[in-house]
Amino acid sequence: MRLTRGALLVAAGALTPALLLTTPAFAAGTAPAAAPVAVAAASAAPSSETPVDEMTEDELRIAIARILGDPDSGRGVTREANAALDGTVEDMREFLKTGYRLAQAEDDRVAIVRIIGDPDSGRGVKREATKALDTNTPEALRAFLETGHRLAQAEDDRVAIVRIIGDPDSGRGVKREATKALDTNTPEALRAFLETGHRLAQAEDDRVAVARILADPTISAALRAAAEDVIDGTPEELRYFLETGRYEVDG
């Protein structure tokens, strides 16, 4: 009996036949980490695996339904998966064997172009992204998105942190935490410093700066009141006070 699309989605979640993809990309171990068919094969625990060429029509449909149900599946993959479901059994086999890989490459290409166009992308990221586009194989595109982007981002983050340390306006807390991130030297530690650690270390330095203002016996009563009010405030409040607020009080 031919399964409907609604039944396919239910079956795809309930059944876990192992699917052995036979394309060169998957055989070489370069399949996308988020590839639904590959994940299904890895997580299933049946007694035997079914090569794509030996799968029944319903097994083919379930495999493609898993791909359609994956939130990471892009526009190209979704389009080709739907086209395969609307086609013949051989169309479905062909999609699982080669069409999925090529459609994933199409979506990966779009994702990389967006990364290059992102104003927050640094020199290293743009260089490696361009290399992946120039190589233009499904494997190179996927490798950049899975690992190359992260490593190139780490390169750019390292440069940004070195600049922060070299900035004469960077305080003791900022330099200490920046140096820790460089010493740890993992992509995660570098990114964490830039996303959260820098802000918190800057707040530490700003709080010290506000305390110094309070230690000055010559400041006005209005400035003292404003400094006392902000010293236990948020990083943003401290920064605003030092950059703008204290001058507004005295003005």
Whether 39 is in a domain gets the answer: yes
41 lies in the same domain as 110: yes
The structure tokens 């270390």 sit at 201
Q: What pLDDT score was predicted for residue 49?
A: 75
83 lies in the same domain as 179: no
109 lies in the same domain as 230: no
142 lies in the same domain as 20: yes
Whether 152 is in a domain gets the answer: yes
Q: What pLDDT score was predicted for residue 122?
A: 97
Q: What pLDDT score was predicted for residue 40?
A: 35
Tell me the residue range of the domain where 231 lies.
171-250
Q: What pLDDT score was predicted for residue 24?
A: 35
Phi and psi at 219, nearest 5°, equal -70, 160
List Cβ<8 Å contacts ≥24 apart for 227-234.
231/207, 234/203
Region of 158 (left: φ > 0; alpha: ψ -120 to 50; beta: rest) is: alpha
Q: What's the full length of the chain, in residues?
A: 251
124 lies in the same domain as 185: no
The structure tokens 């171990």 sit at 29
H-state helical runs in the chain: 5-14, 24-27, 36-43, 57-69, 75-86, 89-94, 100-117, 123-135, 138-143, 149-166, 172-184, 187-192, 198-215, 221-230, 235-240, 246-250
137 lies in the same domain as 223: no
116 lies in the same domain as 235: no
| Cα distance between residue 97 and residue 22, in whole Å | 6
Q: Of the residues 110, 129, 157, which one is the last residue of a structural domain? A: 157
DSSP 181-204: HHHH--HHHHHHIIIIIHHHHHHH
Q: Of the residues 97, 132, 157, which one is the last residue of a structural domain? A: 157
Number of structural domains the chain divides into = 2
21 lies in the same domain as 130: yes
For the chain, 251 residues long, the average pLDDT of each consecutive 10-residue run is 51 42 36 36 41 94 96 96 97 97 98 98 98 98 98 98 98 98 98 98 98 96 96 97 91 55
